Structure 1
């Protein structure tokens, strides 16, 4: 991470020189140092992102005309969203793979129009809750907004999409004693009855419940420690454990 003259972090590949100008540099795939200076930090970051990305994609043509939506999604998630919480990254990934990838993943980034995004949302309406469709809308909007800011596209495709989502927060309601007894009566007929009872007593999330191991239980102190959770990873195609 480079720094400016006041010692503040400038981000990967960017630093401020003693003369006040900003230097952007990276090492290419062939091991060659590539560097250029700019008067503003914004120009330096834009140059760094475009040229480093082009080098990684091994494209000989301008990156705008060679990058697919799928390639951009993975680069965008890794480069611009890596500091988000695992749950947020999982939500982006889930929505992309479930609803976006098959529709426009193989398209060139510059070829995606409003009608393609509109069709994705329209196809979801019969099967998904409004809140889930909204999450897909946010995923598409965020990744294309980043592409627009970095001059990879000239117009945001969602600008022409007709979509409204008035999110209404539902008040949190807890099960009363009678409802809990009804729940347990049905739960006891299931092979997972003990797991259901544990969830009811502790409020564990599904991932936290599945991630429990015997070392989480202290029989002497009669305590339960939740220190990990299980999540589905598209990269590996299976469940993986991460710290809670």
Structure 2
């Protein structure tokens, strides 16, 4: 058992360093040592208990060669699984059509800001600003979750900016009253024609 600077026992896998931080560590199933530092003993104990629980129950395999695809699959099924179905669908669509083709096969640890920016740049000419923003949010949320779960050390979206403006309300054209009446007449006419042919 490790000890703090005063010689008091901290618990198995935890000790206090000379700089005052508490080191919590354990060996994963692949024999790789996992270690993290904390300012307080309770935080170190909580992290160690959670990490051992995840390891024991195979909640996620955090191998050095984990791909973005593998993380997205875990993230969508286990971390954001309680979101509204529309939100999940938006995440899945933006990932499949825009994010996956660029970074899906990459090792998640190798993803840099330039790769994230490349996803957005490829969308510039063919997608509306609102759709690009959805991809930006999906990628940012997914990768931030990877940082929070100790899959990666640094958020690869840091410094990545989204600049294409979403269409302003005054850019949207509304039908005049006259145009609305013509539209309703045309819709009624087409309904009448449709009912005659059936």
Across the two proteins, how many residue pairs are aligned to each other?
152
Return the index of the structure with the highest Cα Rg: 2
Partner residue in 1 for 2:96: 97
Partner residue in 2 for 1:150: 149
Q: Which has the higher helix share?
A: 2
Partner residue in 2 for 1:70: 69
TM-score (structure 1 length as normaliser) = 0.52
Residues in 1 aligned to 2:190 and 2:49: alpha-carbon distance in whole angstroms: 57
What does residue range 90-169 of structure 1 map to in structure 2 within 5 Å? 90-164=89-163
User: Is the 1:46–1:150 contact (alpha carbons within 8 Å) kept by the matching residues of 2?
Assistant: no
Give every structure 1 segment of 4 or more consecutive aligned residues whose post-TM-superposition deviation is greater than 6 Å: 171-174
Is 1:43 the counterpart of 2:42? The answer is no
For the structure 1 residues 81 and 56, does the alpha-carbon distance in structure 2 shift closer, same or farther, using more than 3 Å as the test? closer
* Deviation (angstroms), 1:80: 1.6
Partner residue in 2 for 1:183: 183
User: Is the 1:66–1:108 contact (alpha carbons within 8 Å) kept by the matching residues of 2?
Assistant: yes
User: Is the 2:129–2:167 contact (alpha carbons within 8 Å) kept by the matching residues of 1?
Assistant: no
Larger relative contact order, structure 1 or 2 (CA cutoff 8 Å, min sep 6): 2
For the structure 1 residues 44 and 183, does the alpha-carbon distance in structure 2 shift closer, same or farther, using more than 3 Å as the test? farther
For the structure 1 residues 90 and 147, does the alpha-carbon distance in structure 2 shift closer, same or farther, using more than 3 Å as the test? same
User: Is the 1:49–1:150 contact (alpha carbons within 8 Å) kept by the matching residues of 2?
Assistant: no
Q: Which has the higher strand share?
A: 1
Residues in 2 aligned to 1:174 and 1:45: alpha-carbon distance in whole angstroms: 58
Partner residue in 2 for 1:79: 78
List alignment gaps of at least 5 residues for structure 1.
1-37, 195-244
Residues in 1 aligned to 2:174 and 2:185: alpha-carbon distance in whole angstroms: 18
The superposition leaves residues 138-190 of structure 1 with CA deviations (integer Å, 9 ceiling, x where unpaired) of 00000000001111112111113242355566279975543332223444676
List alignment gaps of at least 5 residues for structure 2.
1-40
